[in-house]
């Protein structure tokens, strides 16, 4: 009888151990499956993020490079606007030599504009060194030419501007035409979004000022 009890007790212990092993095996299998699914999901997420970054990168580059290039162009235009404003103010006073073949005041105006731009950090190599003056229209130009396009300084001393009543007022207009090169390569970067786009290099930045003559 005692021997039978010992056998039954041993069977119960072995049964419990078998059950524990089975549960442990099932738990391990479940953990492995969950880990595999998590890794697969993580790989899919990383792939999606990489794809999203690849799609967004051209737009990011266009925005950043465009911001830098256009900011620099705007800064140059503001300096040019200040220069032509000062030039027009000076030339509107110096009107006595309008009919001269080579008015000294126009040469002085060029020197003043060049000095202002140089002090502002803007290259003045685009402004010509030889004056072309038309006494009939009172127009003088200091031009340089690149790829068939003229850049430089233009002074119009006999411009007629109508006021609110329609009366014509003799005025002076000074204009600068600046060849702006895309410093950061916006004209090339934009092709990542719009392959057919054509941005010339350089482009022309224009600034002008008109002031009524004082005499």
DSSP letter (8 states) at residue 147:
T
Mapped onto helix, strand or coil, the DSSP state of residue 70 is helix
What pLDDT is recorded for position 33?
58
SS3 label, residue 190: helix
3-state secondary structure of 48: helix
Residues of the chain with pLDDT under 50: 2-11, 13, 23, 27, 31
Q: For the chain, what are the domain ranges?
A: 53-212
The whole-model pTM stands at: 0.72
């Amino acid at each position: 009888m005692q021997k039978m009890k010992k056998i039954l007790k041993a069977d119960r212990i072995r049964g419990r151990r078998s059950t524990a092993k089975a549960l442990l095996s099932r738990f391990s299998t479940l953990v492995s499956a969950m880990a595999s699914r998590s890794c697969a999901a993580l790989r899919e997420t990383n792939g999606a993020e990489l794809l999203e970054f690849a799609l967004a990168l051209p737009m990011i580059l266009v925005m950043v490079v465009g911001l830098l290039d256009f900011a620099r162009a705007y800064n140059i235009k503001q300096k040019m606007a200040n220069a032509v404003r000062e030039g027009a103010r000076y030339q509107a006073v110096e009107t006595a030599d309008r009919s001269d073949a080579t008015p000294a005041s126009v040469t002085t105006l060029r020197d003043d504009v060049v000095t202002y731009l140089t002090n502002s950090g803007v290259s003045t190599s685009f402004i010509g060194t030889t004056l072309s003056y038309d006494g009939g229209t009172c127009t003088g130009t200091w031009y340089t030419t690149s790829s068939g396009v003229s850049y430089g300084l233009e002074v119009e001393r006999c411009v007629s501007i109508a006021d609110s009543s329609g009366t014509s007022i003799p005025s002076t207009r000074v204009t600068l035409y600046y060849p702006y090169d895309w410093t950061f390569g916006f004209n090339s970067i934009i092709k990542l979004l719009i392959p057919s786009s054509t941005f010339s290099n350089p482009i022309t930045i224009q600034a002008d000022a008109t002031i009524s003559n004082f005499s």
